Amino acid sequence: MSKSIGEEEIDLPPNDPLRHSNSGKRWILGVVVLLLPILAIAWGVWIVVRPIPHADMTVEIPFGSSVLGIAQTLEEKGVIGNRWLFLAYNLIEGKKLKAGEYAFQDGLSMPEVYRKLAKGDVITYTVRMIEGWNIMQLMREIASAPYAWPTIGKEFLEVCKDPVVLAEYGIEAPSCEGYLFPDTYKVQRPKEAAAIVKRLLDEYKHRVTPEMMAKAISVGLTWPQVMTLASIVEKEAAVPQERAHIAGVFLNRLRLHMPLESDPTVTYGLDRTDNKIYRSDLERVTPYNTYKIPGLPPGPIASPGIASIEAVLNPTPTDDLFFVAKNDGTHIFSKDYASHSEAVQKYQR
């Protein structure tokens, strides 16, 4: 290469710093170039996994919400930092996000929020239907629940008598009384009373099998009669092992056209909440006073559990026609009125 006129060539000593300055700069630049992507990736990861500070809160994700709608809601509530980052994360994960009411604690990262939605880790509430409860008792339980609204009790009772609901579940009765299956349920926040009623009726349909229903004929009853008698057995039997025996006594009385004389039916007909019964109550004529009216009452008086239903379908073979409580949860069973009267004198006086 030709030199410019007047240019003086400088020959630097081997150890002169200037000789190595350019290569040093190139080395530093190379390190920076290598580090930049790593730093960018680290920053991106931190943005994704960093905990988002906010107050503990609940957020409702409505059914039918799009992923964009969910991301927007979460960003507006401060649960996530950026909706677009959430959408990008969703493109990578590709999971279905579930609607419902969620509790988000302070300091959750975006992936933790996403996993919660993908899992459907929603807030649930307890609905208790105790064996032997009637619909009024369940209504009071529901009306005092944290998810309740002012008119839920009234709406609940209306649904229980809705002919469309009764027909849907094959209930041949004026209400759902006796068919709301007793159990403890975990449910999402209900938007309408019908959701609770149908949840319990679904369980009834699941637990009561066609084989059980077909067996009703073996004891000379229709299925609605089985459910009615099972509800009486549920209220009368405090000791599980006596259920089938009590069912046998009532079936004997029905065959002989004797009044059932069941105290729980009387108190149900009087809408008595304290379950106390007085002698004057036995004289008050209602469709449920089985002292005055022979045969079964018009329908169940409570929700029986499977054990009481099975007791009616598999009663103890017995000649007994009477029983009286011993005040310890058990009963004395008798074949004739004279023996029964002695037991009454001994345990009820």
Entry pTM: 0.80
The pLDDT value given to residue 180: 98
Category of 261 on φ-ψ map: left (φ > 0), alpha (ψ -120 to 50) or beta:
left
What pLDDT is attached to residue 36? 58
pLDDT in tens, 150-207: 999 999 999 999 999 999 999 999 999 999 999 999 999 999 999 999 999 999 999 9
- Whole-angstrom Cα distance, residue 117 to residue 60? 11
Structure tokens at 82: 């950026």
pLDDT of residue 300: 97
Average pLDDT over residues 286-308: 95
Using CA atoms, how far apart are residues 164 and 37, in angstroms rounded to an integer? 65
Q: How many other C-beta atoms are found inside a 10 Å radius of the C-beta of residue 23? A: 9
> 98 φ, ψ to 5°?
-100, 145
Q: Per mean pLDDT, which of 56-65, 230-239, 270-279 is the most reliable?
A: 230-239
Of 52, 43, 42, 195, nearest to 116 by C-alpha is 52
100-104 and 125-129 as β-strands: parallel, antiparallel, unpaired?
Answer: unpaired
Listed in sequence order, the residues at least 6 apart from 77 whose beta carbon sits closer than 8 Å to its beta carbon are: 54, 57, 59, 104
Interior/surface letters 267-293, b for 16+ CB within 10 angstroms, e for the rest: bbbeeeeeeeeeeebeeeebebbbbbb
Flag whether pLDDT at 100 surpasses 60: yes
**Integer Cα distance of 181 and 107 in angstroms:** 41
Q: Bigger pLDDT: 50 or 295?
A: 295
N-term to C-term CA, the chain: 132
The predicted pLDDT at position 279 comes to 84
Using an 8 Å Cβ cutoff, are 303 and 132 in contact? Answer: yes
Torsion of CA 302, 308, 313, 318, to 10 degrees: -110
pLDDT-above-70 percentage for the chain: 84
Instruction: Tell me the pLDDT of the chain averaged across its residues.
Output: 87
Return left, alpha or beta for 334; rule: phi > 0 is left, psi -120 to 50 is alpha, else beta. beta
Residues 231-268 pLDDT 10s: 999 999 999 999 999 999 999 999 999 999 999 999 99
Domains and their CATH numbers in the chain: 57-119 (3.30.1490.480), 125-207 (no CATH), 210-318 (no CATH)
Both structure tokens of 208: 């009561």
Query: Of 79-88, 122-131, 159-168, 316-325, which range is least confident?
Result: 79-88
Strand partners, 324: 332
pLDDT tens readout for residues 298-332: 999 999 999 999 999 999 999 999 999 988 889 99
**Considering only CA atoms, which of 126, 196, 129 is closest in space to residue 158?**
196
Rounded to whole angstroms, how far apart are CA atoms 278 and 294? 20
**pLDDT mean over 112-141:** 95
Q: What is the dihedral of CA 89, 90, 91, 95, to 10 degrees?
A: 140
Residue 219 in contact with residue 226, Cβ under 8 Å? Answer: yes
How far apart CA 325 and CA 124 sit, in angstroms, is 41
pLDDT digits (tens, 9 = 90+) for 5-41: 445 555 545 555 545 555 656 656 555 566 556 544 5
| Residue 3 in tokens | 């030199």
